[in-house]
Structure formats: structure tokens, C-alpha cells
Amino acid sequence: MSEKPTVIVDPAYRRMGEIFSPADLERLHRTVGVVWGKDDPMPLEDFREALPRAEAIVCADWRYGDLLSVAERLRAILTVSGGTPRSLDYQQCFARGIRVLGAAPAFGPQVAEMALGLALAASREIVAGDAAFRAGVEQYLHAGNGNTFLLYGKPVGLIGFGGLARSLLPLLAPFGCPISVYDPWLSEGYLRS
């Protein structure tokens, strides 16, 4: 039987339980040799020692400096933060065929739902209205709605059309909002379609 691939799992600031269900964590350990796999940040010395034999790294951010040159077997870096590590040498990754993958698509539906909720709360002053109701000073009819507006038919602008915007678009459809999108990475034809 061949040796299991080595994967460094250092998700700190995230927690293992946020990233892996118990069944997925068990499958991970069954499939690969997990190095670290704890909630606390992996000590840099331990990371340096494991890096030459690692085929993949699961991390929240690239906090390891310029160590890619000793990562002889590395094939993938998987970030679980929802963003892309700014300090990672992407040119070196590309030149060496190291895939840099992210968990951002998994965040799209949750963040889009929250964005819609916040837009509705802001446009209808839900938080202020609740506080006024609890304090017994709520105003009714026009007096209570002087600074509110409906989301229906209002223009919405999206800067970038990544996972979050793509998840938000169908949530806005029932409101009939005219949508404008700017994304320097996508063509106008693609955005129109």
C-alpha cells in the first residue's frame, strides 16, 4: 500500500469544527497524513519541518513567509478564510504548478442572505424601530417612516461579480431592482448574459 499524502492543516484563526464536520474530519484522517490539525496556530518551526514533505496546505492565511522554495512536493494551498492571502508568492505558485484554492464560494449564499437582510434592515430602519418600540416611543404611520424607503425598484450596484454577487442576484430578483455591475475581470458581454 502506498504512503498517504501529507497535508498540513493549520486553519487558525478558524476552528477545525467550523471547517470539517466530524464525518469529513474522520475521512480526512483516513485519506491523508494530517500534520497539526489543531485550532491553535501551528508553530513556524513545526511548519518549516513538515513543509518539504507536504503535498497540500490548508490554512486561513499565508503567515509562513518565503518558504515555498523548500516545499518540494507541494501541489495545493487551500485557504479557508474566504479571502486570498496577500503575502503569498502567486507567481512562484503558478510557475511551479501549485494550485491556490479558496473557500470563498462556500460563503456566498450565507453572506448574500446577510447582505439582503442588512439592506432591508437599513432601508426600513428595523433596528431603530425596534429600539423605539421597546422604549415606548415608537412613532406610527408617516412619522415613523420619514427616513425609510422601499427596496422595490431601487437601483443596485455591484462592484465585482464574484461568488457573493452571484449569490445575491437571485435574492434581489423579487424586488425588481435594476442591477448595474462593474467587474474589471469580466467582459461586458458576459455580464449582460
List, for residues 138-154, the tens digit of each pLDDT value. Answer: 998 888 888 999 999 99
Name the residue among 78, 77, 35, 31 with its Cα closest to residue 53: 35
Q: What is the pLDDT of residue 161?
A: 92
Q: Are residues 13 and 58 in the same domain?
A: yes
The whole-angstrom distance between residue 121's C-alpha and the CA centroid of its chain comes to: 23
Q: For residue 55, how many other CB atoms are within 10 A of its CB?
A: 17
Q: What is the pLDDT of residue 121?
A: 96
Q: What is the pLDDT of residue 2?
A: 66
Pick out the chain residues at pLDDT < 50. none
Q: Is residue 1 part of a domain?
A: no
Buried b (16+ CB within 10 A) or exposed e, 26-50: eebeeebebbbbeeeebeeeebeeb
Q: Are residues 23 and 89 in the same domain?
A: yes
Domain closes at, from 78, 102, 126: 102
Q: What is the pLDDT of residue 174?
A: 97
Rounded to whole angstroms, the Cα distance separating 68 from 82 reads 22
Q: Is the dihedral of CA 84, 86, 92, 95 positive or negative?
A: positive
Which parts of 40-85 are beta strand (E)?
A: 54-59, 76-79
**Counting Cβ atoms within 10 Å, is residue 82 exposed (0-12), middle (13-18) or buried (19+)?**
middle
Q: Is residue 141 part of a domain?
A: yes
Q: Is residue 123 part of a domain?
A: yes
Q: Are residues 98 and 116 in the same domain?
A: no
Q: Are residues 52 and 115 in the same domain?
A: no
| Count of domains observed in the chain | 2
The parent domain of residue 82 ranges over: 6-102
